[in-house]
Structure 1
Amino acid sequence: MAEFVLVAGAWLGAWAWDDVVPALREAGHGAHPVTLSGLAERSGIPAGQQTHVQDIVDVVERADLRNVVMVGHSYSGIPVGQAAQRIGDRLHHAVFVDSNVPTDGESFTSVWSAAQVAELTERGFWPPLPAEDYAGQGLSDEQIARIVGSTPHPAASLTEPAKLNGPLEELPATYLKCLLDGDTPSPDVVKLLESDRWRLVEMETGHWPMFSQPAELARLLLEVA
C-alpha cells in the first residue's frame, strides 16, 4: 500500500484533490491532501517556502507514513522536491504535476523581473490570476471561478530560495506534462529527465488536471504506487 501526499499549487488547498482522493483510497492506498500554511483554511499564517517544506514533512512524520508517493502540482513542486529528499527512505516515488522543480539557491520568482518581485514583496501576496488566464485549459466556468476565488498566495514562499540536500535527479520521479499548457517541460525539467530515475508522462489536458481530468490523473498516480 502506498501513502499519497498530495500538494496543490499556488492559491489552492487540500480541497483541490477532492475528485482524485476517492479513487486512490478505493484502490487500497492512503491519501493525504495537504493545505500549506497561509492558504485555504490555514490562511493568515505567515509562510515562507521552508515553512511549506516543513508542512509537507510534518504530514509524513506525524502519521509515520512509509512507502510515500509525494505529489506536487505547479508551485508546490518546489517544496515537494525538497520534502521528498528530507523524508529519506520513507519515499517511494515523487510525482511532479506540470510543476516547477527546486533548484538549490533559486526561488519561484528567480525568473521574474526585479520590478515584479518588488511589487510582489510590497503587496505581501500573489492574487489568483483573472478568469481569462484560464482559457484553453480544459476547465469549466465553475472550476475557473473556484480557482479565481481561492486564497492569495503568501509572497515569502515564492521569493525564498530552495535548499536541496543533494542532486534532484537522484529522486525516483515522474514528471506529468499537461500539453494544453505547453508541449515541452521547462529546460530544468528536460535536464532532470536525462536521469534514468526520472520519466516523462504526458496528459492531454491543461495545467489543473485535478479539476479537468481527475480520473485520468488518479489512474496515472496509481501506476507509480
Structure 2
Amino acid sequence: MVNFVLVAGARLGAWAWDEVAPCLRAAGHGVHPLTLSGLADKRGVPAGQATHVQDIVDEVERRDLRDVVLVGHSYSGIPAGQAAERIGDRLARAVFVDSDVPTDGRSFLSAWPDGGAAVKASIAENGGFWPPAPASHYDGEGLTDEQIARLVRGSTPHPGATLTEPAVLAGPLSDLPATYVLCAPAGTEPEDAEPDAVVAELVHGGHWRLVRMDTGHWPMFSQPRELAQILLDAAVD
C-alpha cells in the first residue's frame, strides 16, 4: 500500500480529485486529497509560495504518512516539487500531472511571456488574487459542458503571492524518482505535444519517466479512470 497525496492546480481544491480518489482507494491505497491555503474550503487563509509548500509537508507529517506518492497538477507542481525533497524518505515517488516544475529562485510566472505581466496586472486589479477563469478557458480540453460547469462553479480566486514568489530547492530535481504526465489531445500543435526543455532534460537524466495522455490539461475531470491507472502504475515504478 502507498499513500497518495493529491494536490490540484490553481484555483482548485481537494474536490477536484473526487472521481480519481475512489479508483485509488479501490486498489487498496491511502488517498489524501489536499486543499492548499487560500483556496476552496480554506478560502481566506493568507498564503504565499512557502505556505503551500508547508501545507503539503504538514499533511504528510501530521498523518505520519510513509510510502508517499505525491501528485501535483498544473501550478501545484511548483510547491509539490519543493515539498518532495523536504519529506525525505517518506517519499516513494513524485508525479507531476501536466504541471510546472520548480526551479530554485524562480516563480510560477517566471517562464510566462513577459514574466507573467498580464497575470500580475490581473492580480493587482483583483485585490491580490488571480480570478477564476471563464468557461471559454476550458474549450478544446476534452471536457464536457457539465465538467466545465463543475470547474467554473468550484474554482476560487487564487492567492497571487503563491504565483509570484520564488521556489526554494536544496538540490536538483533530477535526483527525485518521478513521473511526468504530459497531456496533449489529438491535434495539438507539435510544439505543445512534447515536454518543455526543463522536463525533457529531467526525463533524459534517467530518474524521471514520461507518460502521455490523449486529453487536455484537466485529466482528473476528462479522463479520471485513465489518470488513476497512471498513478497506480507510477506507484510501482
Fold similarity call, TM over 0.5: yes
Output one character per residue of 1:104-139: Cα deviation in whole Å (capped at 9) or x when no partner: 000011134264254144231111222112111111
Question: CA shift at 1:166, angstroms?
Answer: 0.4
Does the C-alpha gap of structure 1 residues 90 and 137 become closer, same or farther in structure 2, counting only changes over 3 Å?
same
> Taking every aligned residue pair, what percent have the same amino acid on both sides?
67
**What is the aligned partner in structure 1 of residue 171 from structure 2?**
166
1:193-208 matches, cutoff 5 A: 193-208=203-218
| Worse-superposed segment, 121-130 or 47-56 | 121-130
- SS of match in other structure, 1:224: helix
Q: Is the 2:132–2:156 contact (alpha carbons within 8 Å) kept by the matching residues of 1? A: yes
Q: Which piece of structure 1 moves more, 134-143 or 57-66?
A: 134-143
1:119 to 113, 118, 121: 121
Higher mean alpha-carbon deviation, 69-78 vs 117-126, is at 117-126
**Greater shift after overlay, 95-104 or 105-114?**
105-114
Q: Show the 5 A alignment for 1:1-225.
A: 1-112=1-112, 113=114, 115-116=117-118, 118-122=120-124, 123=126, 124-149=128-153, 150-180=155-185, 182-225=192-235
Any idea what SS the aligned residue of 2:46 has?
Answer: coil
After TM superposition, the score normalised by the length of structure 2 is 0.92
How many angstroms apart in 1 are the aligned matches of 2:181 and 2:156? 25
User: 2:164 corresponds to which letter in structure 1?
Assistant: T
AA aligned opposite 1:137: E
State whether residues 203 and 209 of structure 2, in contact with CA within 8 Å, keep that contact through their aligned partners in structure 1: yes
What runs of 5+ residues in structure 1 fail to find an aligned partner?
none
Please identify, of 131-140 and 150-159, the stretch whose mean Cα deviation from structure 2 is larger.
Answer: 131-140
Conserved 8 A contact 2:123-2:130: no
Amino acid at match of 1:102: P
Match of 2:99, as an amino acid?
Answer: S
The alignment partner of 1:71 has SS state of strand
Q: Does the aligned pair in 2 maintain the 1:4–1:71 contact within 8 Å?
A: yes
Aligned structure 1 segments of 4 or more residues deviating by more than 6 angstroms:
none
TM-score under structure 1 length normalisation: 0.96
Distance in 1, matches of 2:149 and 2:195, equals 27
Q: Partners of 2:91 and 2:146 in 1: how far apart?
A: 35
In structure 1, how many angstroms separate the alpha carbons of the residues matched to 2:111 and 2:123? 15
Which amino acid in structure 1 is aligned with residue 214 of structure 2?
A: E
- Kept after mapping to 1: 8 A contact 2:104/2:169: yes
Amino acid at match of 1:224: A
* Residue deviations 1:156-215 (CA, integer Å, cap 9, x gap): 000010000100010000000001263011221111111110010001111000000000
Q: Which runs of 5+ in 2 are unaligned?
A: none
What's the RMSD between the two structures over aligned residues?
Answer: 1.2
Q: How many residues align?
A: 225
Structure 1 CA distance, aligned partners of 2:164 and 2:202? 23
**Contact preservation (8 Å) 1:68, 1:93:** yes
Q: Is the 8 A contact 1:139 1:212 kept in 2?
A: yes
Matches of 1:185 and 1:52, distance apart in 2: 25
